[in-house]
Structure 1
Amino acid sequence: MGGLPEIAAIASLAGAAVGAVGSVAAGQAQADAAAFNAQVAQQQAERERQIAEREAADFRRQQSRVLAASRARRAGSGVTFQGSPLLVDEATAAEIELSAQNILAGGATRASRLEQQAALDRANARSARTGGVLGAGATLLTGVGRTDLSVFGEG
């Protein structure tokens, strides 16, 4: 025994095994990359929410100062805070809050898109792992199918 046909068959099977291991490793590498991308997208989503909250708070503060300055000017000119001036202030405050809510909604929309991307990346990670294992199985089966096992005889 130990002739050339047996060595060729062993080499063929070893090649199939190496190919299978490579397929699993490639699938795992793709899965790791997709999982990392999912984590980054999730972190970016949280940052988008935080940025929107900070921008909305800054906007409210800034507009509150503008409103206070307007009230001070009116008070300095003898205008009372009744009737029309009060209604104007209330409408202005409502507009300020609406704009702040729009800032928050924009951040939530951006965060939601990033969370959807993270979910897609996680699904891609699972798919890559599965693909690596299936590819390994296919490589092994193909390698065995192409190998002349009859050289090993019956025994």
Structure 2
Amino acid sequence: MGALTLIGGVLSAVAAISAGRAQANAAEFNAEMAQQQAERERQIAEREVKDHRRRNSRLLATSRARRAGSGVTSQGSPLLVDEATAAEIELGAQDILSSGASKAYGYRQEAALSRARASGARTGGLLNAGGTLLTAASGTDYDNFFKFSEG
């Protein structure tokens, strides 16, 4: 009976290590996916900022062209309006970048948490394996085990 207990303990320990590795691999995969999503969010924000600036720059240019066509100069109040409009355009661009950075940060934090889970899963698998081996070893009748082994 002692040999079977020990063999069963070894098999259970191997299974615990394997389960820990599988959980760690899944967590590492999740971390990589979150990291990639963080990069995508950053890229999306950059593209949206370019589109925002381009679209609003066209509107500003159209406004200036209409004023010029009607004989209004770009001095005084129209200049102040243009400056305020340009500032609003840039504020909108900064809001887009900030939102993208915030989303990316969330995904990077998710990746860090997944990596910590991976580390914990590996450690947990090893600790479970060690506990299983100790339990199996403590339940083994070594006097009969060695007699059984000898003959």
User: What is the TM-score of this pair, normalised by structure 2?
Assistant: 0.95
Query: Residue 134 of structure 1 is aligned with which of 108, 114, 127?
Result: 127
Q: Gapped runs of 5+ residues in structure 1?
A: 1-7
Partner in structure 1 of residue 36 of structure 2:
43
Q: Distance in 1 between matches of 2:50 and 2:4?
A: 69
SS of residue paired to 2:6:
helix
State the aligned residue count: 148
Equivalent of 1:56 in 24, 49, 60: 49
> In the alignment, residue 118 of structure 1 is paired with which amino acid?
A
Tell me which residue corresponds to 2:73.
Answer: 80
Is residue 147 from structure 1 mapped to residue 140 from structure 2 by the alignment? Answer: yes
Q: Which amino acid aligns with 1:135?
A: N
1:4 matched to which residue of 2? none
Amino acid at match of 1:148: D
1:146, distance to aligned residue in structure 2 (A): 1.6
In 1, the alpha carbon distance for the partners of 2:62 and 2:14 equals 72
Task: Report percent identity of matched pairs.
Answer: 63
Superposed CA RMSD in Å reads 1.2
Pair 1:88–1:110, CA change in 2 (3 A): same
Corresponding letter in the other structure for 2:123: T
Q: Which amino acid aligns with 2:32?
A: Q
Question: How much has 1:10 moved relative to structure 2?
Answer: 1.1
Q: Give the TM-score, by structure 1 length.
A: 0.92
| Aligned counterparts, 1:1-155, within 5 A | 8-152=1-145
